[in-house]
Amino acid sequence: MVSLEDVYHTAELAKIEITEGEAEKFRKEFEKIIDYFNILDEVEEDIEPTFHVLPITNVFREDVEGECLSQEEALSNAKHKEDGHFKGPRVVE
């Protein structure tokens, strides 16, 4: 069972504003999808999980200076900027 509260809580975690109508639509869809996911309950617990498929670990490079973006390039896609900096929303409410 997926409740409306579950949907609102998840939307809050994901930082996506949703309307009441959307919440009910998502609730119905999530219930069906999560019900399908529950097939994994049949799988036994005692198995080592795989997070990476290839045995590549600790990829290092020399600590040398490389090319990087200019300030202008880095800011070129930002709508809000000031004095060569990104301008973000207020963090302290």
* Torsions phi, psi for 85 (to 5 deg): -125, 155
Indicate the angle between helix axes 4-14 and 20-37, nearest 10 degrees: 100
Answer yes or no whether residue 65 interacts with another protein by CB under 8 A.
no
Least spacing, CB of residue 24 vs another protein, in Å? 13
Answer yes or no whether residue 84 interacts with another protein by CB under 8 A.
no
Q: How many residues bind another protein (CB under 8 A)?
A: 51
Least spacing, CB of residue 79 vs another protein, in Å? 4
Place of tokens 């670990």: 57
What Cα–Cα distance (Å) separates residue 8 from each residue in 2, 30, 68, 78?
A: 11, 12, 41, 30
Among 1, 20, 39, 65, indicate the residue that binds another protein (CB under 8 A). Answer: 39
Question: CA 82, CA 89: separation in Å to the nearest integer?
Answer: 13
Residues contributing to the site for another protein (CB under 8 A)? 6-7, 9-11, 13-18, 26, 29-30, 32-34, 36-37, 39-43, 45, 47-54, 56, 59, 61, 69, 73-74, 76-80, 86-91, 93
